Homo-oligomer: A and B are copies of this chain.
Amino acid sequence: MAKILMKGTEAIAEAAIRAGCRFFFGYPITPQNQIPEYMSRRMPQVGGTFLQAESELAAINMVYGAGGCGKRAMTSSSSPGISLKQEGISYIAGARVPAVIVNIVRAGPGLGTIQPSQQDYMQATRSTGHGGCRTVVLGPASVQEAAELTMEAFEIADAYRIPVIIIGDGMIGQMMEPVDFDAIKIRKREIPNKDWAADISTWGKRPRAVINSLYIDPKVCEASNLSWDEMFKTVSRKEVRHEEYMTDDMDHLIVAFGTTSRICRNAIAAAREQGIRAGMIRPITLSPFPFEAIKLAADRVKSVLCVEMNSGQMVEDVRLAVNGKLDVKFFGRTGGMIPSPAEILQAVKDAGGCR
């Protein structure tokens, strides 16, 4: 198939369907409405289910239900709606149900604005609900990558029985870029047999399914948590991804993810025109985070700058990676404001002590 011009949101929806997702439960919220809208058109065509839930809470719990039956299920929302899903995501994690959750982040706090933001980094990477489970968080930077990572998300979710969060912002959600689905080659993972699922077609051939996160005995609860931690260690070993951009000869490291990294590319181009050798590491998996790559890079640069569309959240991960070797500087815009290449260039100069 040829390339088609698609919005990020539409590409995510189409990619989900191509990944075999047949159950989508959503609730409208800008700037991700094209996902449910696309699903409402397409799902009937592929024999799948689109259902507009009465709320984000209902939607995430419907995902829990369908996912617990062994089906590939998904929901999408944006910041306030994702806050409402926190309890449900925690239940999904606790019950080890695979699920994919898309967050096209807007600016906040509160109702804020629908303009682009990366303000939900901490929420996504640190605390998807109570319970302290770290989940997998993917941060695409282009529409093509949004499609690709969506397909990856379903593989990862099934392979490890973990909720996977795809995080983007209004820019990636609303912009159109060419997408070539045929070019997507996702790594096939070993997906364990779903004999834990409440699938009536396999009744009798498996133990009784109990999709559950309630443990009366803390010993059992701890064991379940430890097995989560163990699983997540494997995820951290096998699934970390990042992209390097002009890092070979760099003196100044920028760390940025998602659309912000696109603006940083422009800033890097401008920097290099001025003879400043800037380069970038772009975490693709925000969780697990590419600590190692950044640590290694930090050894050979003069400055590290983290650029985000928030007040400085990923900067903590970068600091944890750099571990005191260098000061990590931060530049960010918040509230839906988008940093300009010029601002970022200035920040690189300031961080690196260049004039």
A15 to chain B, nearest CB (A): 24
- Docked-complex contact A129 and B109, CB < 8 angstroms: yes
Contact A214 B111 (CB under 8 A): yes
Residue on B with the closest CB to A325? Answer: B324
- Proximity bits, A203-228, B CB within 8 Å = 1, else 0: 00000000011111111111111101
- In whole Å, how far is A341's beta carbon from the nearest beta carbon of chain B? 18
> Number of copies of this chain in the oligomer?
2
Looking at the assembled complex, report how far the CB atom of A329 sits from the nearest CB atom of chain B, in whole angstroms: 15
Q: Report chain B residues within 8 Å CB of A112.
A: 94, 131, 213-215, 221
Asked whether A266 is an interface residue with its Cβ less than 8 Å from the other chain, the reply is: no
Interface residue? A316 (CB, 8 A): yes
Q: What chain B residues lie within 8 Å of A91 (beta carbons)?
A: 109-111
Contact A130 B335 (CB under 8 A): no
Are B132 and A221 neighbours in the complex by a CB distance under 8 Å? no
Q: Which of A79-87, A137-145, A270-278 lies at the interface with chain B?
A: A79-87
Q: Is A36 an interface residue (CB 8 A)?
A: no
Contact of A213 among B92, B110, B133, B337 (CB under 8 A): B110
The number of chain A residues touching the other chain, given as a range, is: 35 or more
On whether the beta carbons of A109 and B123 are closer than 8 Å, the reply is no
Contacts of A79 in B (CB 8 A): 130-131
Contact of A334 with B130 in the complex, beta carbons under 8 Å: no
Of the listed residues A82, A131, A222, the one surrounded by the most CB atoms of chain B closer than 10 A to its CB is A131
- Cβ of A120 and Cβ of B110 under 8 Å apart? no
Task: Tell yes or no: A25 within 8 A of B by CB.
Answer: no
Q: List 13 A-B contacts (CB under 8 A).
A: A90-B108, A93-B110, A95-B110, A108-B131, A108-B213, A109-B213, A112-B215, A113-B216, A123-B127, A132-B311, A219-B337, A221-B334, A226-B311
